[in-house]
Structure 1
């Protein structure tokens, strides 16, 4: 019983490490893309983002499921002390990863012209070719990550992810700036070169860790008296592929939405008769300003979702259903407490935030998109945490089905709004609102049906909405006052965000929207509670 509890706690800790690393990686990704947008401009970011949608899709179908699949297989072998078999699967995985990575990278490089034509972005050819080698490197990197995760340690994977993103950020900016003189399309290609370089450094780190740990692995294999090692290479490949396919289907379904946006939006504008350079610029606004800003608060929800899966899985295995219900309800409320003020903040301070980060170019349309689409922060955040809970409950296929249904509805609306009525950017944002709202609703209702969360909507939804709305108004007024005194948008925006955030927390506490126990869950929760009590808010 004690060992089971230790294993469960270990799983939660390891899941937390990986979730924390994921959040750090997303934050680095957010902050380096701000100067990248300013280097490449909207047209360059259109080419950059278009090539990344193709790269991301090919990465998913080639190797994205490899770490989780190998982790699952190797973990079972390690539990049975079949260390030799675990290592044979690792070696088979390396060969499979290299083989699949070589195929996908070759397709992306040699078919770049056709792929760029398919998505309606002819200027993204160079960026796609620059990205192609990263597919091969990542396929091998994915196998090493799966091996270490199968050994029940997430630390090497977490550190390699951070190293990968740091080098990606540095070289993306340096290469984009260096190649921009040859043209916008080459500048975008320079920006994508950083991805491959970052992936290479992440792989080199894991190879170093593996070589350092090889004597330990060797001793374990020497003590192995259980393994039979009778299976051949293709037998191991079959095991890996069969384990990967269900995960692959899920990952593909979740990420199809971005590819659909790219293809339908750009081809829709071309269909309406716009020039390719203008189309790239419009997609650059959508991908590099609107979507980029929305990504940051959603990343917090995604990290919380990743951290919630091991704990809920463990509780389900022990049949502690009341605890599962409590954990699920608590996780959703925490996400709402973060995502709702984020949405209101982006809606009320859309123009000042965009002006501070990207300058005045196309500020009107970008601000309008932000105000319209701010609510998707709530929808995507709720959807992310619900997917994490559903996976923890073992309902892996349910969110996949929901994503596909919502995607079908989104396609219909994009065709009507962009191809029929030529709504352009507005049509893309409205379609995204419908998609995200539908997915969040269906995922939540599935959880409610399974474990009956019995959420207190007044406290969990209405109170944060009231506090968020009031916060938005206060932040806007503060920004106007600071601008009147200093005429500095940067000072005004940062001051408005800080005062608005503080106002939200104080008001939420005063109206009973958050309890002391819930406040303790947040980072530095002890200090927050102590401060609240000192100020007599609690």
Structure 2
């Protein structure tokens, strides 16, 4: 009897560890991808300058929105359906879901690519940045490629295998980095020739942004080739398994209906959740123009906002990774009516997300100056530093809102994130308009984005508690990380300030001097943060069992 209980306990722990391991794998890949993205944006920004970054950021906002409609919701929806079928051992239906998804990807990818290519001039004109049309057209083929890529990522994630997604993301970003910088360099030079020919200064920035956009397409294509080779290798085994399946097969119409009913709420919710960046761009450009702010300054400030988002996206990658790995396993737990496992995964996902988001928020705020001077030095670096300090708070609330969205989706409440996104978007836009007309400029965009995420967190957490009666120990979940982060922040800032004070003034404000003062401060921050958590007994041995490499930290836990 005891042996049987021990086996059940071991099985549950193994399932929990697998969830955290898969999430950690995607988190590491996601953070690595963001780091590569940050590293290559340094030379890219140096080539195309803040003005080129403005065109690049605007084009990517539109590209992201169309990407949501064509493929963004596919990994989540497909992984959910695949995991449900696998849990019931309906292997033939998994293949049917894949075929229906392929048809959707083909149609929607083509439509969105057509809209982006032929509507580039109209879209760029509406954003008050006509030269952004070059980057928009360059991104059109990528929308179609990403539709198929999203399909295959969702398929393998639904099978509980996050490794292909992690590898493909890294391959995609490496190729993106190499070709973005190379094409931006070549096309920026061509743009200078066009400047002389047409007596205009903007062609070099626009062509440089277009070069960066081309690199994105090359990266996506290489990732797609990787998945096609992987699927071709596994296809015989998958088809053999499906042939042995004697369960009833759903019709194509039924499979399509299930796919759409799963995808549409996620799609609309994601659209509402991400359309804010496009609306921010539109309202910011329009209102600043009405306030008689020069167009060149508007484009430059939007480029600064794009650089801030590069820094912001790195820690948020953890929440995205955890949400991707959470949905299939949480769906399976709900389907098997395993309440203990369901509540455990909810608590674990929120806690691990906060363990990273809280110190990153504090770190971005106190170390904003050396971070920005090291990565994006330039004539407008002080504006970037101030934006980063204010916007650091967004890391905490976007991480929490992202993971809580995934929890609600995994629980089967697909419409709730949509409802909450709409409410939060209305609140966000109202605050944005008030702030912009109050002449806060780009700071108004940053603050209104924070308010959007806060509203999402409040609504999502209330819904999770209402539907699961899950009680989150916020003292343990967020209290310990905040206290440890404050201790970390004081000593990390002291380390930075001391080194910065000892360096010559000219060197201290340059890229090399900033790196010399920042890197030791980050090392001190990491050691003190986790050291403080261990000292406060914030972790139990069971917690460390679920944490990546947690076994090595067990010796620091008192019995």
TM-score relative to the length of structure 2? 0.84
Q: Given the alignment of the two structures, is residue 401 of structure 1 paired with residue 419 of structure 2, yes or no?
A: yes
Task: Indicate the residue corresponding to 1:482 in structure 2.
Answer: 499
Q: 1:275 aligns with which of 294, 314, 326?
A: 294
For residues 224-278 of structure 1, the C-alpha deviation after alignment (integer angstroms, 9 at most, x for no partner) is 77778986xx887666444432332222122122222222222222222223222
- Distance in 2, matches of 1:332 and 1:85, equals 32
Task: Indicate the residue corresponding to 1:424 in structure 2.
Answer: 441
Q: CA deviation at 1:213?
A: 3.6
Q: Given the alignment of the two structures, is residue 190 of structure 1 paired with residue 211 of structure 2, yes or no?
A: yes
Secondary structure (helix, strand or coil) at the match of 1:359 reads coil
Task: Indicate the residue corresponding to 1:103 in structure 2.
Answer: 111
Contact map agreement 1:301 1:381 (CA 8 A) in 2: yes
Q: Which moved more, 1:215-224 or 1:47-56?
A: 215-224
Task: Indicate the residue corresponding to 2:69 in structure 1.
Answer: 61
- Distance in 2, matches of 1:258 and 1:321, equals 37
Write out aligned runs for 1:165-314 (5 A).
165-181=173-189, 182=191, 183-217=204-238, 219=240, 240-288=259-307, 290-314=308-332
Q: Which moved more, 1:16-25 or 1:99-108?
A: 16-25
- Distance in 2, matches of 1:60 and 1:298, equals 18
- Distance in 2, matches of 1:153 and 1:225, equals 25
- Distance in 1, matches of 2:333 and 2:375, equals 43
Q: 2:33 aligns with which of 25, 28, 33?
A: 25
- Distance in 1, matches of 2:103 and 2:416, equals 33
- Distance in 2, matches of 1:116 and 1:91, equals 36
Structure 2 residue runs of 5 or longer lacking an equivalent are: 192-203, 505-512
Q: 1:383 aligns with which of 384, 398, 401?
A: 401
Contact map agreement 1:23 1:303 (CA 8 A) in 2: no
Q: Which moved more, 1:448-457 or 1:398-407?
A: 448-457
Structure 2 vs 1, CA of residues 429 and 67 (structure 1 numbering), >3 Å: closer, same or farther?
closer
Task: Indicate the residue corresponding to 2:194 in structure 1.
Answer: none
Q: 1:321 aligns with which of 339, 348, 353?
A: 339
Task: Indicate the residue corresponding to 1:112 in structure 2.
Answer: 120
Task: Indicate the residue corresponding to 1:464 in structure 2.
Answer: 481
Secondary structure (helix, strand or coil) at the match of 2:461 reads helix
Q: Which moved more, 1:450-459 or 1:116-125?
A: 450-459
Q: Which moved more, 1:236-245 or 1:35-44?
A: 236-245
Q: CA deviation at 1:526?
A: 2.2
- Distance in 2, matches of 1:338 and 1:411, equals 29
Task: Indicate the residue corresponding to 1:365 in structure 2.
Answer: 383
- Distance in 1, matches of 2:547 and 2:82, equals 34
- Distance in 1, matches of 2:92 and 2:479, equals 56
Structure 2 vs 1, CA of residues 478 and 225 (structure 1 numbering), >3 Å: closer, same or farther?
closer
Q: CA deviation at 1:503?
A: 2.1
Task: Indicate the residue corresponding to 1:343 in structure 2.
Answer: 361
Structure 2 vs 1, CA of residues 238 and 11 (structure 1 numbering), >3 Å: closer, same or farther?
farther
Contact map agreement 1:63 1:97 (CA 8 A) in 2: yes
For residues 46-105 of structure 1, the C-alpha deviation after alignment (integer angstroms, 9 at most, x for no partner) is 111110111111111122233444455566677788777765664454344223222211
Q: Which moved more, 1:318-327 or 1:251-260?
A: 318-327
Q: CA deviation at 1:199?
A: 1.4
- Distance in 1, matches of 2:183 and 2:439, equals 36
Contact map agreement 2:364 2:388 (CA 8 A) in 1: yes
Q: CA deviation at 1:319?
A: 3.5
Q: Which moved more, 1:25-34 or 1:278-287?
A: 25-34
Q: Which moved more, 1:373-382 or 1:86-95?
A: 86-95
Q: Given the alignment of the two structures, is residue 374 of structure 1 paired with residue 395 of structure 2, yes or no?
A: no
For residues 382-404 of structure 1, the C-alpha deviation after alignment (integer angstroms, 9 at most, x for no partner) is 22222232223322222221121
Q: Which moved more, 1:509-518 or 1:267-276?
A: 509-518
RMSD between superposed Cα atoms in Å: 3.3
Task: Indicate the residue corresponding to 2:151 in structure 1.
Answer: 143
Task: Indicate the residue corresponding to 1:528 in structure 2.
Answer: 553
Q: CA deviation at 1:148?
A: 4.5
Contact map agreement 2:273 2:425 (CA 8 A) in 1: no
Contact map agreement 2:23 2:322 (CA 8 A) in 1: no
For residues 464-495 of structure 1, the C-alpha deviation after alignment (integer angstroms, 9 at most, x for no partner) is 32332232222221112112334432111111
Structure 1 residue runs of 5 or longer lacking an equivalent are: none
TM-score relative to the length of structure 1? 0.87
